[in-house]
Structure 1
Amino acid sequence: MDAKELIARRVAREIRPGMLVNLGIGLPSMVAGHVGPEMRVFFQAENGIVGLGGRPAPGLENPWLTDAGAGLVTAVPGAASIDSAMSFALIRGGHVDMTVLGGLQVDEAGHLANWKVPGKMVPGMGGAMDLATGARQLVVAMQHAAKGASKIVRECSLPLTTARRVDLVVTELAAIRPTEAGLVLAERAPGVSVEQILAATEAALILPAEIPEMALN
């Protein structure tokens, strides 16, 4: 299992039956592939789909059916196509139970930075600001470091996506829960030690007495 697969599997465990969930582009979009149909979860894309399925099998791609990042997707029975105004009304109105976003940095206060000036690091903010502010739960799915530098930092140096504190950060090394007191190391990835996590993390982490290993099934 590679790092992205591990992260997607762990994030999927946060999703509960009947939820309306928005998945960001890239790594977060992989989460849909780990949520079974029996959960009756509806994934939403801000470009106007409620009821996204996983990636299509080879030969079954529909070029008119994409997520917000233009990735080819499927639709589950009961899916709906809506216009952008309705899609953002769901987001801004607080009707999305959870959003899963990628991240460039998360700091000790639990602040997320996941965009920068177009052409410099990633494209513009897209719907991230609306999602990060409007969704009931905000989960960040990202790799722990980039080019050798930790993405869990003391203070974000990039523009913040929202003033709110994120609810959970999942990386290939750990699950971290931001709290008012700081970042709590909640779980270790399989085979990863606390010492390895601390060595890869710039920010200070609060260490509970017991730090269980992630369950990924």
Structure 2
Amino acid sequence: MTFRPLDRAGIAARIARDIPEGWFVNLGIGIPTGVSDHVPNDREVIFHSENGVIGAGPAPAPDKINPFLVNAGTQHITLRTGGSFVHHADSFAIARGGHLDLCVLGAFEVAENGDIANWARSLDEPVKQVGGAMDLAIGAKRLWVAMEHITKGHGGSRIRRVCSYPLTAKGVVRRVYTDLAVLEITPRGFGVLDMIPGMTREELQERSEAELHWT
């Protein structure tokens, strides 16, 4: 193997590179919460957290932690200049009402038609509840997914023809960022936009249950 997969911070940084100036973005728990750490200070991206934060900033330095300022995953965050707090009901009205330019969610699996499965089916898996994911998946204008390409332990692919986990939402995913590649959902299925250095098409296909397409 001549390639080195991205770590979780690397996936988050890769997503941050692609978010345009001025977008209003929600970050789900897990890998997505790290995206705000990698957006340059001179680029204005407004991050929303469904617990009621608008204008969330990157993680604070250890000596700058505000114990009462957290995101939806209970991680400590900062507040960017102009940021604000809103009522929980208002925050979910934003999530459901088509006001978000983008939502980035973690997932267990994504299917080639854009279906997403991101909550657990057994007690030994980390996410036991769907939380606000269903609202965000159908309420945001775009949905990107951040996840590792292969499952831990079993080595199965998360890039699927059909999801084997319970669905969070159908046909909503636009793009998938993994530790190996960036994939776009197209009428033909998964289209490959980018791969990590050193990886071949054959190696990426071997690690993907669904058929991949290159343009």
Q: Are 1:170 and 2:177 matched, yes or no?
A: yes
Once residues 200 and 122 of structure 2 are traced to their aligned partners in structure 1, the CA distance between those partners, rounded to angstroms, is 37
Amino acid at match of 1:181: R
What residue number does 2:147 align with?
Answer: 142
Once residues 96 and 117 of structure 2 are traced to their aligned partners in structure 1, the CA distance between those partners, rounded to angstroms, is 19
Structure 1 runs of 4+ aligned residues shifted over 2 Å read: 116-121
What residue number does 1:76 align with?
Answer: 80
Once residues 193 and 86 of structure 2 are traced to their aligned partners in structure 1, the CA distance between those partners, rounded to angstroms, is 38
Q: Deviations over 1:125-145 (max 9, x none)?
A: 001001110101100000001
CA deviation after TM superposition for structure 1 residue 30, in Å: 0.7
What residue number does 1:85 align with?
Answer: 89
Once residues 35 and 192 of structure 2 are traced to their aligned partners in structure 1, the CA distance between those partners, rounded to angstroms, is 22
Q: 8 Å contact 1:43–1:51 — kept in the other structure?
A: yes
- Which structure 2 segments of 5+ residues have no match? none
Give the TM-score taking structure 2 as reference length.
Answer: 0.92
- Which structure 1 segments of 5+ residues have no match? 209-217
Once residues 124 and 117 of structure 1 are traced to their aligned partners in structure 2, the CA distance between those partners, rounded to angstroms, is 10
Q: Deviations over 1:50-105 (max 9, x none)?
A: 01111110111111000001011111111100011100111111001100000100
Q: 8 Å contact 2:181–2:196 — kept in the other structure?
A: yes
Give the TM-score taking structure 1 as reference length.
Answer: 0.91
Q: How many aligned positions are there?
A: 208
Percent sequence identity is 43
Once residues 75 and 207 of structure 1 are traced to their aligned partners in structure 2, the CA distance between those partners, rounded to angstroms, is 40
Q: Which moved further from structure 2: 86-95 or 4-13?
A: 4-13
Once residues 42 and 139 of structure 2 are traced to their aligned partners in structure 1, the CA distance between those partners, rounded to angstroms, is 27
RMSD: 1.4
What residue number does 1:23 align with?
Answer: 27
What residue number does 2:115 align with?
Answer: 111
What residue number does 1:212 align with?
Answer: none
